[in-house]
Amino acid sequence: MTYSKKIQSLLKREKIKLYDLIEVSSKNFKVKGYLMPRTEGDPNTLVLKLENGYNIGIKPDSVKRLGSMKREKLPKIKFAKDPKKKNVVLLAAGGTIASRIDYRTGAVKPAITPEEILSFTPRINDVANISIKILFQMLSECMTPHHWALIAKGVRDAINEGADGVVVLHGTDTLGYSAAYLSFALQNLPIPVVFVGAQRSPDRASCDAHMNILCAVKAATSDIAEVMVCMHEDLNDNSCALHQGNRVRKCHTSRRDAFKSIGVKPFARVKYPSLELEILRNDYARVDKTRKLIFKNKVCDKVAIIKTFPGLKSDIIKSLIKNKYQGLVIEGTGLGHFPIKSYDKFSKENEENFMALKRFAKRGIIFMASQTIWGRINMNVYETGRDLVNIGVLGNLLDMIPETAYVKLVWALGNSKTLEDAKKLMSTNIAGEFTERSLF
């Protein structure tokens, strides 16, 4: 979609091209901004990107060209290494936190240099000696388990090179999945590993990148040798929460406090701007740089997670069997249920679901989690739960959240020689991924 002929001739007359800086006048106001393409809506309305990063639509009376867009240059800052400070490695793995506006499309693109990260958060150098390594640059929704393995390797290398803490800059969309993976791939962790992201891009006034990174670097110098996620605790700028990496979930599309611990408290909070650490739980491993890391970063990419819904038919499971999937996590309903029983002509297809699951379980592994997100699996209460257990669907993940169940199965199948070994790994509490008793 493009602008109307009327708008196009107006722009042509003023020699204005897309992405030029222009001034638009209408009856009551004037506004400056960059001309954006029209992707939807009224073709007679101009779309301008304002300096604060927001887009607005305006019906113009007149327009004037002010100049072309220049990519802002940030000053290069160099930091001296202070032997009294801890050494924290920042690993950049893409995402909004390491991104800029793409002035070609007006959308946010992952691309940033180490200098840029340091220049928009210079205070991190007061907290620790910082070094930065770019692992890859991509939007986190496009990451795969192989990228988790690369992040794990990056953290292991940093540990081997003597880092006191590692911060992973990551897109928020799948940040919880990656953090969960590292909690399994890096066992016996000697130092803190802190994932951090930003919900608002750096071109917006409400950007949370600066505060989140600063709190994450602080967390990386703490005594908590766990895989953590550091994000805004609430809508105020007073603290970041340090969530347990495998029990945290992005629970809002846009809020800065989108990440919530599920069924447990966060390990701690970092207050802002004081950067004071307030411990909220005591069941964490303490930093011990002599502790020997156990490193298992293989993955199995024949694993899927399927959400059940009323009307689910067997074709989906059958396609997984046909394509030789080895692992399946069901995001079932309630205590861990799946539509498998026929009561009437309308529910006859459920019998096919039952047979398909039975076939899958004969040569692969099926684990049950719940789409309720909160609460514990219990497949012994209802008859359909028991029927599922009888054909081999495993219901012993307790309160493991569905996303972590998927990640752990990718990891367990990748790092086991037999299905039985993978089942044993799944049933072992490796990094607090299930709890003896849910808090909520």
Is 50 an interacting residue with respect to a second copy (CB under 8 A)?
no
Catalytic residue among 49, 121, 164, 172: 172
Contacts (CB under 8 A) with a second copy, residues 331-370: 331-344, 346-347, 349-350, 370
Angle, alpha carbons 303-110-147 (nearest 5°): 25
Scan residues 5-44 and list those touching a second copy (CB under 8 A).
Answer: 39-40
Among residues 157, 173, 203, 237, which one is catalytic?
A: 173
145 binds a second copy (CB under 8 A): yes
Give the N- to C-terminal CA distance of the chain in Å, as an integer: 48
H-type helices in 253-325, by residue range? 315-322
Element (H, E) at 117: helix 114-120
User: In angstroms, rounded to a whole number, what is the distance separating the alpha carbons of residues 411 and 177?
Assistant: 12
Catalytic residue among 218, 250, 358, 408: 250
Binding mask 52-91 for a second copy (x = CB under 8 A): ---x------------------------------------
Nearest CA to 166 among 243, 219, 99?
219
Residues paired with 230 in a beta bridge: 196, 242
Asked if residue 436 binds a second copy (CB under 8 A), the reply is no
Q: 33 — phi, psi (to 5°)?
A: 180, 180
Binding to a second copy (CB under 8 A) within 282-311 occurs at 299, 301, 303-311
By CB under 8 A, name the one of 49, 86, 147, 218 that touches a second copy.
147
3-state class (DSSP) for residue 182: helix
For a second copy, which stretch binds (CB under 8 A), given 14-22, 77-85, 146-154, 358-366? 146-154
Q: Examine the residue annotation and report whether 172 is marked as an active-site residue of this protein.
A: yes
Query: In the set 3, 34, 177, 360, which binds a second copy (CB under 8 A)?
Result: 177
Question: Which span (5-13, 169-177, 271-279, 285-293) binds a second copy, by CB under 8 A?
Answer: 169-177
Per annotation, catalytic residue among 49, 96, 208, 260: 96
Integer Cα distance of 367 and 397 in angstroms: 8
The minimum distance between CB 52 and a second copy, in angstroms, equals 14
Structure tokens at 254: 């846009």
Interacting residues with a second copy between 246 and 265 (CB under 8 A): 250-255, 258
Q: In angstroms, give the least distance from the CB of 181 to a second copy.
A: 9
Q: Give the residue with the Cβ less far from a second copy, 129 or 201.
A: 201
Contacts (CB under 8 A) with a second copy, residues 184-243: 201
Q: Which is nearer to a second copy, 173 or 223 (CB)?
A: 173
Residue closer to a second copy, measured from CB, 29 or 346:
346
State yes or no: is 435 an active-site residue.
no
# residues contacting a second copy (CB under 8 A)? 93
Q: Tell me whether residue 72 or residue 383 sits nearer to a second copy (CB atom).
A: 383
Compare residues 85 and 318 and give the one whose CB is closer to a second copy.
318
- What's the rounded Cα separation, in Å, for the pair 181 and 298? 10
CA distances from residue 430 to 4, 189, 433 in whole angstroms, order as listed: 60, 12, 7
Taking the C-alpha atoms of residue 284 and residue 225, their distance in angstroms, rounded to an integer, is: 7
Query: Is residue 151 close enough to count as binding a second copy by CB under 8 A?
Result: no
Backbone φ, ψ for residue 371 (5° rounding): -70, -5
Look up 301 and say whether it is catalytic: no
> What is the SS3 assignment for 287?
coil
250 tagged catalytic: yes
Give dist(CA 249, CA 227) in Å, integer. 14
Long-range CB contacts (within 8 A, 24+) of 412-418: 412/184, 412/327, 413/300, 413/302, 413/303, 413/326, 413/327, 413/365, 414/145, 414/298, 414/299, 414/300, 415/296, 415/298
User: 3-class DSSP state for residue 99?
Assistant: strand
Q: In the range 380-419, which residues lie near a second copy by CB under 8 A?
A: 380-386, 389-390, 403, 406, 410
Is residue 326 close enough to count as binding a second copy by CB under 8 A? Answer: no
DSSP-based three-state secondary structure for 174: coil
Exactly one of 23, 115, 173, 237 binds a second copy (CB under 8 A); that residue is 173
CB of 79 vs a second copy, minimal distance in Å: 29
> Which sequence positions are flagged as catalytic?
96, 172-173, 250
